[in-house]
Structure 1
Amino acid sequence: MTLFVVLIILLAALLHAVWNAIVKTAADRTTMLGLVALGQVLPGALMVMLLPLPNPESFVYILLSTVVHFGYYFMLGKAYQHGDLSVVYPIARGIVPALVSLWAMVLVGEVLPFQAWTGIALIAVGIQLSSWKALRSGVGRSALMFALGTGFCISIYSVVDGIGVRLSGNTLSYWAWGAFLHLFIAGFVGVRKRATLKDLPAKVWMIGILGGLVSMTAYGLVLYAKNFAPLGAVSALRETSVIFAALIGFVFLKEGNWARRLGAAVLMAVGVALIGLAV
Protein backbone atom coordinates (compact mmCIF):
# COMPACT_ATOMS: atom_id res chain seq x y z
CA MET A 1 0.00 0.00 0.00
CA THR A 2 1.45 3.37 -0.96
CA LEU A 3 2.04 6.11 1.60
CA PHE A 4 -0.46 8.31 -0.28
CA VAL A 5 -3.26 5.76 0.17
CA VAL A 6 -2.36 5.28 3.86
CA LEU A 7 -2.49 9.04 4.45
CA ILE A 8 -5.86 9.29 2.66
CA ILE A 9 -7.35 6.62 4.93
CA LEU A 10 -5.88 8.20 8.07
CA LEU A 11 -7.35 11.57 7.05
CA ALA A 12 -10.70 9.83 6.59
CA ALA A 13 -10.31 8.33 10.07
CA LEU A 14 -9.64 11.76 11.57
CA LEU A 15 -12.70 13.26 9.86
CA HIS A 16 -14.79 10.28 11.01
CA ALA A 17 -13.70 10.98 14.59
CA VAL A 18 -14.66 14.65 14.22
CA TRP A 19 -18.25 13.93 13.17
CA ASN A 20 -18.61 11.30 15.89
CA ALA A 21 -17.46 13.89 18.41
CA ILE A 22 -20.20 16.19 17.07
CA VAL A 23 -22.78 13.45 17.67
CA LYS A 24 -21.32 12.58 21.07
CA THR A 25 -21.69 16.15 22.37
CA ALA A 26 -25.27 16.56 21.08
CA ALA A 27 -28.13 16.75 23.57
CA ASP A 28 -30.28 14.52 21.33
CA ARG A 29 -28.04 12.05 19.47
CA THR A 30 -30.84 10.57 17.36
CA THR A 31 -31.81 13.97 16.02
CA MET A 32 -28.16 14.81 15.39
CA LEU A 33 -27.67 11.55 13.47
CA GLY A 34 -30.65 12.54 11.31
CA LEU A 35 -29.13 15.96 10.64
CA VAL A 36 -25.80 14.32 9.79
CA ALA A 37 -27.65 12.14 7.28
CA LEU A 38 -29.36 15.23 5.86
CA GLY A 39 -25.97 16.89 5.53
CA GLN A 40 -25.03 14.11 3.11
CA VAL A 41 -28.30 14.21 1.17
CA LEU A 42 -28.00 17.87 0.14
CA PRO A 43 -24.60 17.73 -1.62
CA GLY A 44 -25.39 14.21 -2.81
CA ALA A 45 -28.50 15.47 -4.61
CA LEU A 46 -26.49 18.16 -6.39
CA MET A 47 -23.78 15.69 -7.40
CA VAL A 48 -26.17 13.08 -8.84
CA MET A 49 -27.61 15.78 -11.10
CA LEU A 50 -24.19 16.80 -12.39
CA LEU A 51 -22.30 13.50 -12.58
CA PRO A 52 -22.84 10.58 -14.99
CA LEU A 53 -24.56 7.46 -13.68
CA PRO A 54 -22.32 4.75 -12.28
CA ASN A 55 -22.26 1.46 -14.17
CA PRO A 56 -25.65 -0.33 -13.88
CA GLU A 57 -24.17 -3.40 -12.14
CA SER A 58 -23.11 -1.24 -9.19
CA PHE A 59 -26.64 -0.02 -8.37
CA VAL A 60 -27.58 -3.21 -6.54
CA TYR A 61 -24.63 -2.54 -4.23
CA ILE A 62 -25.68 1.08 -3.72
CA LEU A 63 -29.18 -0.05 -2.72
CA LEU A 64 -27.88 -2.85 -0.50
CA SER A 65 -25.48 -0.43 1.18
CA THR A 66 -28.38 1.97 1.84
CA VAL A 67 -30.39 -0.80 3.53
CA VAL A 68 -27.42 -1.87 5.66
CA HIS A 69 -26.68 1.75 6.59
CA PHE A 70 -30.27 2.03 7.81
CA GLY A 71 -29.66 -1.04 9.99
CA TYR A 72 -26.40 0.54 11.19
CA TYR A 73 -28.12 3.73 12.34
CA PHE A 74 -30.88 1.69 14.01
CA MET A 75 -28.42 -0.57 15.83
CA LEU A 76 -26.24 2.37 16.86
CA GLY A 77 -29.20 4.29 18.25
CA LYS A 78 -30.37 1.25 20.23
CA ALA A 79 -26.85 0.59 21.51
CA TYR A 80 -26.63 4.16 22.83
CA GLN A 81 -29.97 3.67 24.61
CA HIS A 82 -28.53 0.76 26.58
CA GLY A 83 -24.87 1.72 27.00
CA ASP A 84 -22.47 4.65 27.09
CA LEU A 85 -20.71 5.73 23.91
CA SER A 86 -17.32 5.01 25.52
CA VAL A 87 -18.39 1.35 25.89
CA VAL A 88 -20.45 0.82 22.75
CA TYR A 89 -18.15 2.52 20.26
CA PRO A 90 -14.93 0.52 20.82
CA ILE A 91 -16.83 -2.78 20.77
CA ALA A 92 -18.65 -1.89 17.55
CA ARG A 93 -15.56 -0.62 15.76
CA GLY A 94 -13.13 -3.15 17.25
CA ILE A 95 -14.65 -6.19 15.55
CA VAL A 96 -14.91 -4.57 12.12
CA PRO A 97 -11.39 -5.02 10.63
CA ALA A 98 -11.30 -8.78 11.24
CA LEU A 99 -14.85 -9.24 9.94
CA VAL A 100 -14.20 -7.20 6.79
CA SER A 101 -11.00 -9.15 6.15
CA LEU A 102 -12.92 -12.42 6.46
CA TRP A 103 -15.79 -11.28 4.21
CA ALA A 104 -13.30 -10.00 1.62
CA MET A 105 -11.41 -13.28 1.68
CA VAL A 106 -14.62 -15.29 1.17
CA LEU A 107 -16.36 -13.02 -1.33
CA VAL A 108 -13.58 -11.48 -3.44
CA GLY A 109 -10.60 -13.71 -2.69
CA GLU A 110 -8.46 -11.08 -0.95
CA VAL A 111 -6.02 -12.97 1.27
CA LEU A 112 -3.95 -10.79 3.58
CA PRO A 113 -0.42 -11.79 4.62
CA PHE A 114 0.36 -12.65 8.23
CA GLN A 115 2.02 -9.26 8.80
CA ALA A 116 -1.19 -7.46 7.84
CA TRP A 117 -3.23 -9.67 10.20
CA THR A 118 -0.75 -8.78 12.97
CA GLY A 119 -1.34 -5.10 12.25
CA ILE A 120 -5.11 -5.62 12.34
CA ALA A 121 -4.76 -7.37 15.72
CA LEU A 122 -2.71 -4.48 17.15
CA ILE A 123 -5.29 -1.96 15.96
CA ALA A 124 -8.09 -4.02 17.54
CA VAL A 125 -6.18 -4.18 20.85
CA GLY A 126 -5.50 -0.44 20.67
CA ILE A 127 -9.22 0.24 20.16
CA GLN A 128 -10.10 -1.68 23.30
CA LEU A 129 -7.24 -0.16 25.32
CA SER A 130 -8.39 3.35 24.43
CA SER A 131 -11.61 2.75 26.39
CA TRP A 132 -10.40 0.08 28.81
CA LYS A 133 -11.67 1.75 31.97
CA ALA A 134 -15.20 2.02 30.61
CA LEU A 135 -15.14 -1.54 29.24
CA ARG A 136 -13.82 -2.94 32.56
CA SER A 137 -16.78 -1.43 34.39
CA GLY A 138 -19.05 -3.89 32.60
CA VAL A 139 -21.23 -4.12 29.53
CA GLY A 140 -24.93 -4.87 29.75
CA ARG A 141 -26.27 -7.68 27.61
CA SER A 142 -28.48 -5.43 25.50
CA ALA A 143 -25.70 -2.89 24.97
CA LEU A 144 -23.30 -5.67 23.99
CA MET A 145 -25.71 -7.24 21.50
CA PHE A 146 -26.56 -3.94 19.82
CA ALA A 147 -22.88 -2.92 19.74
CA LEU A 148 -21.99 -6.21 18.06
CA GLY A 149 -24.91 -5.71 15.67
CA THR A 150 -23.58 -2.24 14.84
CA GLY A 151 -20.13 -3.66 14.11
CA PHE A 152 -21.64 -6.39 11.95
CA CYS A 153 -23.54 -3.80 9.88
CA ILE A 154 -20.37 -1.72 9.45
CA SER A 155 -18.47 -4.77 8.20
CA ILE A 156 -21.22 -5.62 5.70
CA TYR A 157 -21.57 -2.16 4.16
CA SER A 158 -17.76 -1.82 4.08
CA VAL A 159 -17.47 -4.91 1.87
CA VAL A 160 -20.58 -4.10 -0.17
CA ASP A 161 -19.28 -0.62 -0.96
CA GLY A 162 -15.80 -1.96 -1.64
CA ILE A 163 -17.17 -4.28 -4.32
CA GLY A 164 -19.68 -1.73 -5.62
CA VAL A 165 -17.24 1.13 -6.07
CA ARG A 166 -14.90 -1.12 -8.06
CA LEU A 167 -17.77 -2.02 -10.39
CA SER A 168 -19.09 1.53 -10.68
CA GLY A 169 -16.54 2.86 -13.15
CA ASN A 170 -16.83 6.24 -11.39
CA THR A 171 -15.99 6.59 -7.69
CA LEU A 172 -17.52 10.09 -7.49
CA SER A 173 -20.85 8.91 -8.90
CA TYR A 174 -21.00 5.93 -6.56
CA TRP A 175 -20.15 8.21 -3.64
CA ALA A 176 -22.81 10.72 -4.68
CA TRP A 177 -25.62 8.16 -4.94
CA GLY A 178 -24.68 6.59 -1.60
CA ALA A 179 -24.82 10.00 0.05
CA PHE A 180 -28.08 11.00 -1.66
CA LEU A 181 -29.86 7.82 -0.56
CA HIS A 182 -29.24 8.81 3.06
CA LEU A 183 -32.52 10.58 2.27
CA PHE A 184 -34.35 7.55 3.69
CA ILE A 185 -32.43 7.73 6.96
CA ALA A 186 -32.90 11.50 7.29
CA GLY A 187 -36.59 11.10 6.42
CA PHE A 188 -37.13 8.35 8.99
CA VAL A 189 -35.52 10.41 11.76
CA GLY A 190 -37.40 13.49 10.59
CA VAL A 191 -40.77 11.73 10.92
CA ARG A 192 -39.89 10.36 14.36
CA LYS A 193 -38.54 13.70 15.62
CA ARG A 194 -40.90 16.03 13.78
CA ALA A 195 -42.26 17.45 17.04
CA THR A 196 -38.84 18.65 18.17
CA LEU A 197 -37.22 19.61 14.85
CA LYS A 198 -39.16 22.85 14.49
CA ASP A 199 -37.83 24.06 17.84
CA LEU A 200 -34.18 23.25 17.16
CA PRO A 201 -31.90 26.30 17.22
CA ALA A 202 -30.31 27.27 13.91
CA LYS A 203 -26.90 26.53 15.43
CA VAL A 204 -27.85 22.87 15.96
CA TRP A 205 -29.05 22.57 12.36
CA MET A 206 -25.79 24.07 11.12
CA ILE A 207 -23.64 21.80 13.29
CA GLY A 208 -25.57 18.73 12.11
CA ILE A 209 -25.32 19.67 8.42
CA LEU A 210 -21.60 20.38 8.87
CA GLY A 211 -21.21 16.98 10.54
CA GLY A 212 -22.86 15.39 7.50
CA LEU A 213 -20.45 17.12 5.13
CA VAL A 214 -17.50 15.92 7.21
CA SER A 215 -18.93 12.38 7.34
CA MET A 216 -19.54 12.34 3.59
CA THR A 217 -16.00 13.54 2.88
CA ALA A 218 -14.54 10.90 5.17
CA TYR A 219 -16.41 8.08 3.47
CA GLY A 220 -15.59 9.41 0.01
CA LEU A 221 -11.89 9.16 0.86
CA VAL A 222 -12.40 5.58 2.05
CA LEU A 223 -14.26 4.65 -1.14
CA TYR A 224 -11.40 6.07 -3.19
CA ALA A 225 -8.86 4.03 -1.22
CA LYS A 226 -10.84 0.82 -1.76
CA ASN A 227 -9.97 1.03 -5.44
CA PHE A 228 -6.29 0.57 -4.62
CA ALA A 229 -5.99 -1.47 -1.43
CA PRO A 230 -7.44 -4.67 0.12
CA LEU A 231 -10.77 -4.07 1.85
CA GLY A 232 -9.62 -5.54 5.18
CA ALA A 233 -6.55 -3.31 5.28
CA VAL A 234 -8.58 -0.20 4.44
CA SER A 235 -11.08 -1.05 7.17
CA ALA A 236 -8.35 -1.60 9.77
CA LEU A 237 -6.71 1.74 9.00
CA ARG A 238 -10.07 3.49 9.04
CA GLU A 239 -10.79 2.20 12.52
CA THR A 240 -7.92 4.32 13.84
CA SER A 241 -10.75 6.86 14.04
CA VAL A 242 -11.33 5.42 17.50
CA ILE A 243 -8.00 6.66 18.80
CA PHE A 244 -8.48 10.02 17.08
CA ALA A 245 -11.85 10.24 18.84
CA ALA A 246 -10.21 9.29 22.14
CA LEU A 247 -7.54 11.95 21.70
CA ILE A 248 -10.19 14.55 20.79
CA GLY A 249 -12.06 13.53 23.93
CA PHE A 250 -8.94 13.90 26.06
CA VAL A 251 -7.76 17.23 24.63
CA PHE A 252 -11.07 19.04 24.08
CA LEU A 253 -13.58 17.23 26.32
CA LYS A 254 -11.16 16.49 29.18
CA GLU A 255 -11.96 12.79 29.17
CA GLY A 256 -9.92 9.76 30.16
CA ASN A 257 -6.36 8.82 31.02
CA TRP A 258 -3.63 10.28 28.80
CA ALA A 259 -1.11 7.49 29.43
CA ARG A 260 -3.54 4.72 28.45
CA ARG A 261 -4.65 6.59 25.36
CA LEU A 262 -1.08 7.32 24.34
CA GLY A 263 -0.29 3.61 24.70
CA ALA A 264 -3.29 2.78 22.53
CA ALA A 265 -2.14 5.31 19.93
CA VAL A 266 1.33 3.73 19.82
CA LEU A 267 -0.12 0.24 19.36
CA MET A 268 -2.37 1.43 16.55
CA ALA A 269 0.47 3.33 14.90
CA VAL A 270 2.55 0.15 14.84
CA GLY A 271 -0.45 -1.69 13.41
CA VAL A 272 -0.84 0.94 10.70
CA ALA A 273 2.85 0.64 9.80
CA LEU A 274 2.67 -3.16 9.58
CA ILE A 275 -0.37 -3.04 7.30
CA GLY A 276 1.09 -0.30 5.14
CA LEU A 277 4.30 -2.27 4.60
CA ALA A 278 2.54 -5.62 4.06
CA VAL A 279 0.00 -4.84 1.33
Structure 2
Amino acid sequence: MSDWLISLEGTEAGHQAALWLALLAAFLHAVFGALQKGRHDPWLSRGAIDASYCLMAAPFALFVVPWPEPHMWVIFAIAWLIHILYKTLQALAYTKGSYTVVYPVVRGTGPLFTVIGASFIFNESFTLTQWLGVLVLLAGIFGLAIYNLIFLQTSRETLPIALGLAAVTGLFVALYTTYDAYGIRATADPFTFLAWFFMIDGATLPFFAYLRWRNLADPPAPGPLMMRGLIGGLVAFASFGSVMLATRLDKVGEAAVLRETSTVFAALIGWLVLKETVGPRRIALMTLIALGAVIVEMGGQ
Protein backbone atom coordinates (compact mmCIF):
# COMPACT_ATOMS: atom_id res chain seq x y z
CA MET A 1 0.00 0.00 0.00
CA SER A 2 2.76 2.44 0.94
CA ASP A 3 4.79 1.67 -2.18
CA TRP A 4 1.72 2.18 -4.37
CA LEU A 5 0.92 5.56 -2.78
CA ILE A 6 4.51 6.73 -3.07
CA SER A 7 4.51 5.76 -6.75
CA LEU A 8 1.61 8.20 -7.33
CA GLU A 9 3.51 11.25 -6.05
CA GLY A 10 3.82 13.95 -8.70
CA THR A 11 1.64 12.09 -11.24
CA GLU A 12 -1.77 12.93 -12.70
CA ALA A 13 -3.21 9.90 -10.91
CA GLY A 14 -1.75 11.28 -7.69
CA HIS A 15 -3.35 14.67 -8.39
CA GLN A 16 -6.77 13.08 -8.85
CA ALA A 17 -6.34 10.92 -5.76
CA ALA A 18 -5.37 14.01 -3.74
CA LEU A 19 -8.51 15.81 -4.97
CA TRP A 20 -10.83 13.07 -3.75
CA LEU A 21 -8.91 12.60 -0.52
CA ALA A 22 -9.20 16.33 0.26
CA LEU A 23 -12.96 16.33 -0.42
CA LEU A 24 -13.39 13.23 1.75
CA ALA A 25 -11.44 14.99 4.49
CA ALA A 26 -13.74 18.02 4.14
CA PHE A 27 -16.88 15.99 4.76
CA LEU A 28 -15.38 14.02 7.62
CA HIS A 29 -13.93 17.12 9.26
CA ALA A 30 -17.39 18.69 9.38
CA VAL A 31 -18.70 15.51 10.99
CA PHE A 32 -15.83 15.66 13.47
CA GLY A 33 -16.59 19.27 14.37
CA ALA A 34 -20.25 18.46 14.97
CA LEU A 35 -19.28 15.52 17.20
CA GLN A 36 -17.12 17.78 19.35
CA LYS A 37 -19.76 20.53 19.54
CA GLY A 38 -22.72 18.17 20.13
CA ARG A 39 -24.52 17.34 23.37
CA HIS A 40 -21.41 16.88 25.53
CA ASP A 41 -18.95 19.44 26.89
CA PRO A 42 -16.38 20.08 24.08
CA TRP A 43 -13.48 19.27 26.43
CA LEU A 44 -15.00 15.90 27.36
CA SER A 45 -15.84 15.09 23.74
CA ARG A 46 -12.31 15.92 22.63
CA GLY A 47 -10.78 13.88 25.45
CA ALA A 48 -12.90 10.83 24.56
CA ILE A 49 -12.04 11.17 20.86
CA ASP A 50 -8.31 11.50 21.55
CA ALA A 51 -8.31 8.50 23.89
CA SER A 52 -10.05 6.45 21.24
CA TYR A 53 -7.69 7.18 18.36
CA CYS A 54 -4.63 6.92 20.62
CA LEU A 55 -5.58 3.37 21.64
CA MET A 56 -6.50 2.40 18.09
CA ALA A 57 -3.25 3.76 16.65
CA ALA A 58 -0.93 2.22 19.26
CA PRO A 59 -0.78 -1.37 17.90
CA PHE A 60 -0.20 -0.09 14.36
CA ALA A 61 2.54 2.28 15.48
CA LEU A 62 4.30 -0.30 17.66
CA PHE A 63 3.89 -3.49 15.62
CA VAL A 64 2.79 -2.81 12.02
CA VAL A 65 4.37 0.24 10.36
CA PRO A 66 8.14 0.73 10.00
CA TRP A 67 9.81 2.37 12.99
CA PRO A 68 10.31 6.16 12.62
CA GLU A 69 13.70 7.44 11.51
CA PRO A 70 15.70 9.21 14.28
CA HIS A 71 15.01 12.70 12.92
CA MET A 72 11.25 12.11 13.17
CA TRP A 73 11.16 12.34 16.98
CA VAL A 74 11.77 16.09 16.95
CA ILE A 75 9.13 16.47 14.23
CA PHE A 76 6.62 14.50 16.32
CA ALA A 77 7.37 16.61 19.41
CA ILE A 78 6.74 19.90 17.59
CA ALA A 79 3.61 18.50 15.91
CA TRP A 80 2.31 17.38 19.33
CA LEU A 81 2.78 20.89 20.75
CA ILE A 82 1.07 22.57 17.78
CA HIS A 83 -1.92 20.24 17.97
CA ILE A 84 -2.30 20.60 21.74
CA LEU A 85 -2.51 24.38 21.34
CA TYR A 86 -4.90 24.02 18.39
CA LYS A 87 -7.26 21.67 20.25
CA THR A 88 -7.22 23.86 23.35
CA LEU A 89 -8.13 26.94 21.32
CA GLN A 90 -10.83 25.08 19.41
CA ALA A 91 -12.48 23.75 22.57
CA LEU A 92 -12.38 27.22 24.12
CA ALA A 93 -13.98 28.70 21.00
CA TYR A 94 -16.77 26.12 21.06
CA THR A 95 -17.52 26.88 24.71
CA LYS A 96 -17.92 30.60 23.90
CA GLY A 97 -19.79 30.60 20.59
CA SER A 98 -22.23 28.56 18.52
CA TYR A 99 -20.99 25.91 16.10
CA THR A 100 -22.32 27.68 13.00
CA VAL A 101 -20.46 30.90 13.88
CA VAL A 102 -17.19 29.46 15.19
CA TYR A 103 -16.66 26.75 12.57
CA PRO A 104 -16.74 28.95 9.42
CA VAL A 105 -14.35 31.49 10.97
CA VAL A 106 -11.89 28.75 11.96
CA ARG A 107 -12.01 27.11 8.57
CA GLY A 108 -11.98 30.41 6.65
CA THR A 109 -8.83 31.71 8.32
CA GLY A 110 -6.84 28.54 7.72
CA PRO A 111 -6.57 28.06 3.94
CA LEU A 112 -5.28 31.53 3.10
CA PHE A 113 -2.37 31.24 5.52
CA THR A 114 -1.75 27.63 4.48
CA VAL A 115 -1.41 28.66 0.83
CA ILE A 116 1.02 31.44 1.83
CA GLY A 117 3.00 29.11 4.09
CA ALA A 118 3.18 26.38 1.43
CA SER A 119 4.58 28.89 -1.05
CA PHE A 120 7.54 29.56 1.25
CA ILE A 121 8.11 26.04 2.64
CA PHE A 122 7.32 23.87 -0.39
CA ASN A 123 7.90 26.46 -3.15
CA GLU A 124 4.33 26.03 -4.38
CA SER A 125 2.63 28.64 -6.54
CA PHE A 126 -1.01 29.40 -7.41
CA THR A 127 -2.18 30.80 -10.74
CA LEU A 128 -4.21 34.01 -10.84
CA THR A 129 -7.31 31.92 -11.51
CA GLN A 130 -6.62 29.82 -8.41
CA TRP A 131 -6.16 32.93 -6.29
CA LEU A 132 -9.54 34.11 -7.59
CA GLY A 133 -10.97 30.78 -6.46
CA VAL A 134 -9.43 31.23 -3.01
CA LEU A 135 -11.03 34.68 -2.72
CA VAL A 136 -14.42 33.35 -3.85
CA LEU A 137 -14.23 30.49 -1.35
CA LEU A 138 -13.19 32.80 1.50
CA ALA A 139 -15.98 35.25 0.59
CA GLY A 140 -18.46 32.41 0.93
CA ILE A 141 -17.00 31.15 4.21
CA PHE A 142 -16.83 34.54 5.90
CA GLY A 143 -20.17 35.53 4.41
CA LEU A 144 -21.65 32.43 6.02
CA ALA A 145 -20.03 33.33 9.33
CA ILE A 146 -21.42 36.90 9.17
CA TYR A 147 -24.89 35.63 8.31
CA ASN A 148 -24.80 33.16 11.20
CA LEU A 149 -23.47 35.91 13.43
CA ILE A 150 -26.35 38.25 12.64
CA PHE A 151 -29.24 35.80 12.60
CA LEU A 152 -28.26 32.74 14.64
CA GLN A 153 -25.88 33.80 17.42
CA THR A 154 -27.50 33.68 20.87
CA SER A 155 -24.61 34.20 23.33
CA ARG A 156 -23.92 37.85 22.49
CA GLU A 157 -21.97 38.51 25.67
CA THR A 158 -19.30 35.94 24.75
CA LEU A 159 -19.31 36.74 21.03
CA PRO A 160 -16.12 38.89 20.82
CA ILE A 161 -13.96 36.32 22.59
CA ALA A 162 -15.52 33.48 20.55
CA LEU A 163 -14.63 35.21 17.28
CA GLY A 164 -11.13 36.03 18.50
CA LEU A 165 -10.52 32.44 19.56
CA ALA A 166 -11.93 31.18 16.25
CA ALA A 167 -9.56 33.40 14.24
CA VAL A 168 -6.51 32.32 16.24
CA THR A 169 -7.62 28.69 15.93
CA GLY A 170 -7.72 29.18 12.16
CA LEU A 171 -4.11 30.33 12.23
CA PHE A 172 -3.21 27.12 14.02
CA VAL A 173 -5.10 25.15 11.38
CA ALA A 174 -2.75 26.68 8.80
CA LEU A 175 0.26 25.98 11.02
CA TYR A 176 -0.52 22.33 11.65
CA THR A 177 -1.55 21.69 8.03
CA THR A 178 1.73 23.05 6.72
CA TYR A 179 3.91 21.50 9.41
CA ASP A 180 2.23 18.08 9.24
CA ALA A 181 2.64 18.10 5.46
CA TYR A 182 6.34 18.63 6.09
CA GLY A 183 6.31 15.79 8.62
CA ILE A 184 4.59 13.23 6.41
CA ARG A 185 7.07 14.02 3.63
CA ALA A 186 10.04 13.65 5.98
CA THR A 187 9.58 9.92 6.52
CA ALA A 188 9.90 7.15 3.95
CA ASP A 189 6.54 5.56 4.80
CA PRO A 190 3.57 7.94 5.16
CA PHE A 191 1.73 5.46 7.38
CA THR A 192 4.59 5.62 9.87
CA PHE A 193 3.87 9.30 10.36
CA LEU A 194 0.11 8.78 10.63
CA ALA A 195 0.24 5.89 13.12
CA TRP A 196 2.80 7.48 15.42
CA PHE A 197 1.19 10.90 15.17
CA PHE A 198 -2.20 9.60 16.29
CA MET A 199 -0.71 7.64 19.18
CA ILE A 200 1.37 10.58 20.44
CA ASP A 201 -1.23 13.27 19.76
CA GLY A 202 -4.05 11.43 21.50
CA ALA A 203 -2.21 10.69 24.74
CA THR A 204 -2.57 14.07 26.50
CA LEU A 205 -6.09 15.52 26.54
CA PRO A 206 -7.82 12.37 27.88
CA PHE A 207 -6.19 12.97 31.29
CA PHE A 208 -7.39 16.57 31.38
CA ALA A 209 -10.87 15.50 30.24
CA TYR A 210 -11.03 12.87 32.98
CA LEU A 211 -10.18 15.43 35.67
CA ARG A 212 -12.80 17.79 34.26
CA TRP A 213 -15.41 15.01 34.15
CA ARG A 214 -14.64 13.93 37.74
CA ASN A 215 -15.03 17.47 39.06
CA LEU A 216 -18.36 18.24 37.35
CA ALA A 217 -21.36 18.57 39.62
CA ASP A 218 -23.39 16.38 37.26
CA PRO A 219 -20.95 14.40 35.08
CA PRO A 220 -22.44 12.72 32.00
CA ALA A 221 -22.67 8.94 31.84
CA PRO A 222 -19.37 7.57 30.48
CA GLY A 223 -21.02 5.09 28.09
CA PRO A 224 -22.52 7.54 25.56
CA LEU A 225 -19.47 9.80 25.89
CA MET A 226 -17.07 6.97 25.05
CA MET A 227 -19.29 5.87 22.16
CA ARG A 228 -19.03 9.42 20.79
CA GLY A 229 -15.27 9.16 21.32
CA LEU A 230 -15.10 5.88 19.40
CA ILE A 231 -17.02 7.30 16.45
CA GLY A 232 -14.98 10.51 16.56
CA GLY A 233 -11.73 8.55 16.67
CA LEU A 234 -12.63 6.62 13.54
CA VAL A 235 -13.70 9.85 11.80
CA ALA A 236 -10.44 11.54 12.85
CA PHE A 237 -8.38 8.71 11.39
CA ALA A 238 -10.15 8.97 8.05
CA SER A 239 -10.34 12.78 7.95
CA PHE A 240 -6.82 13.68 9.05
CA GLY A 241 -5.31 10.69 7.26
CA SER A 242 -7.00 11.66 4.01
CA VAL A 243 -5.82 15.25 3.97
CA MET A 244 -2.28 14.32 5.04
CA LEU A 245 -2.01 11.75 2.25
CA ALA A 246 -3.37 14.40 -0.14
CA THR A 247 -0.60 16.81 0.90
CA ARG A 248 2.00 14.13 0.22
CA LEU A 249 0.59 13.26 -3.19
CA ASP A 250 0.03 16.81 -4.46
CA LYS A 251 0.12 20.49 -3.53
CA VAL A 252 -0.38 21.33 0.14
CA GLY A 253 -2.19 24.58 -0.70
CA GLU A 254 -4.71 22.94 -3.01
CA ALA A 255 -5.51 20.23 -0.46
CA ALA A 256 -5.98 22.88 2.25
CA VAL A 257 -8.36 24.94 0.12
CA LEU A 258 -10.43 21.95 -1.02
CA ARG A 259 -10.71 20.73 2.57
CA GLU A 260 -12.42 23.99 3.51
CA THR A 261 -15.49 22.93 1.58
CA SER A 262 -16.09 21.28 4.96
CA THR A 263 -17.94 24.51 5.78
CA VAL A 264 -20.65 23.48 3.31
CA PHE A 265 -20.94 20.07 4.93
CA ALA A 266 -20.91 21.70 8.39
CA ALA A 267 -23.86 23.92 7.45
CA LEU A 268 -25.77 20.89 6.17
CA ILE A 269 -25.00 18.98 9.37
CA GLY A 270 -26.09 21.98 11.42
CA TRP A 271 -29.38 21.97 9.52
CA LEU A 272 -30.09 18.24 9.32
CA VAL A 273 -28.59 17.01 12.60
CA LEU A 274 -28.36 19.97 14.98
CA LYS A 275 -31.68 21.39 13.71
CA GLU A 276 -30.25 24.81 12.92
CA THR A 277 -31.97 27.03 10.35
CA VAL A 278 -30.79 27.04 6.71
CA GLY A 279 -32.38 29.49 4.28
CA PRO A 280 -31.79 30.68 0.70
CA ARG A 281 -29.04 33.11 1.71
CA ARG A 282 -27.01 30.40 3.40
CA ILE A 283 -27.56 28.07 0.46
CA ALA A 284 -26.22 30.80 -1.86
CA LEU A 285 -23.16 31.29 0.35
CA MET A 286 -22.52 27.54 0.45
CA THR A 287 -22.73 27.52 -3.34
CA LEU A 288 -20.12 30.29 -3.40
CA ILE A 289 -17.78 28.17 -1.27
CA ALA A 290 -18.19 25.19 -3.60
CA LEU A 291 -17.66 27.42 -6.64
CA GLY A 292 -14.42 28.75 -5.16
CA ALA A 293 -13.14 25.22 -4.66
CA VAL A 294 -14.02 24.32 -8.27
CA ILE A 295 -12.18 27.42 -9.55
CA VAL A 296 -9.07 26.49 -7.51
CA GLU A 297 -9.12 22.96 -8.90
CA MET A 298 -9.80 23.96 -12.52
CA GLY A 299 -7.35 26.87 -12.40
CA GLY A 300 -4.48 24.52 -11.67
CA GLN A 301 -5.03 22.39 -14.75
Provide the TM-score with structure 1 as the length reference: 0.92
Tell me whether 1:46 sits opposite 2:67 in the alignment.
no
Tell me whether 1:176 sits opposite 2:195 in the alignment.
yes
Structure 1: segments with no counterpart, 5+ residues: none
The one-letter code of the counterpart of 1:62 is F
Decide which moves more: 217-226 or 76-85.
76-85
In structure 2, C-alpha distance between the alignment counterparts of 1:184 and 1:210, rounded to whole Å: 19
1:7 corresponds to: 20
SS at match of 2:248: coil
Tell me whether 1:259 sits opposite 2:283 in the alignment.
no
Tell me whether 1:26 sits opposite 2:39 in the alignment.
yes
1:95 corresponds to: 109
In structure 2, C-alpha distance between the alignment counterparts of 1:210 and 1:48, rounded to whole Å: 20
2:91 maps to which of 77, 81, 85: 77
CA 1:140 to 1:21, structure 2 compared with 1: closer, same or farther past 3 Å?
A: closer
SS at match of 1:140: helix
User: 1:21, 1:245 within 8 Å by CA — same for their partners in 2?
Assistant: yes
Provide the TM-score with structure 2 as the length reference: 0.85
Please give the per-residue CA displacement for 1:213-239, whole angstroms capped at 9, x wherever unaligned: 111211001111011222121111111
2:128 maps to which of 114, 118, 140: 114
The one-letter code of the counterpart of 1:175 is L
In structure 1, C-alpha distance between the alignment counterparts of 2:81 and 2:117, rounded to whole Å: 18
Structure 2: segments with no counterpart, 5+ residues: 1-11
The one-letter code of the counterpart of 1:192 is R
The one-letter code of the counterpart of 2:25 is A
SS at match of 1:31: helix
The one-letter code of the counterpart of 1:80 is Y
Kindly tell me the number of residue pairs found equivalent between the two proteins.
Answer: 279
1:214 corresponds to: 235
Q: CA deviation at 1:266?
A: 1.8
In structure 2, C-alpha distance between the alignment counterparts of 1:230 and 1:91, rounded to whole Å: 23
Decide which moves more: 13-22 or 126-135.
126-135
The one-letter code of the counterpart of 1:120 is V
Q: CA deviation at 1:198?
A: 7.8
Percent identity, aligned pairs only, is 29
SS at match of 2:71: helix
In structure 1, C-alpha distance between the alignment counterparts of 2:75 and 2:292, rounded to whole Å: 30
Please give the per-residue CA displacement for 1:64-105, whole angstroms capped at 9, x wherever unaligned: 111111001111122223322222221111110110111111
Tell me whether 1:276 sits opposite 2:297 in the alignment.
yes
2:30 maps to which of 17, 21, 25: 17
User: 1:250, 1:258 within 8 Å by CA — same for their partners in 2?
Assistant: no
1:141 corresponds to: 160
SS at match of 1:59: helix
Decide which moves more: 132-141 or 72-81.
132-141
In structure 2, C-alpha distance between the alignment counterparts of 1:64 and 1:188, rounded to whole Å: 20
RMSD: 2.1
Q: CA deviation at 1:107?
A: 2.3
SS at match of 1:246: helix
The one-letter code of the counterpart of 2:199 is F
User: 2:118, 2:252 within 8 Å by CA — same for their partners in 1?
Assistant: yes
CA 1:30 to 1:246, structure 2 compared with 1: closer, same or farther past 3 Å?
A: same
CA 1:194 to 1:51, structure 2 compared with 1: closer, same or farther past 3 Å?
A: farther
Tell me whether 1:153 sits opposite 2:167 in the alignment.
no
In structure 2, C-alpha distance between the alignment counterparts of 1:171 and 1:39, rounded to whole Å: 21
The one-letter code of the counterpart of 2:104 is P
2:213 maps to which of 183, 187, 193: 193
CA 1:270 to 1:52, structure 2 compared with 1: closer, same or farther past 3 Å?
A: same
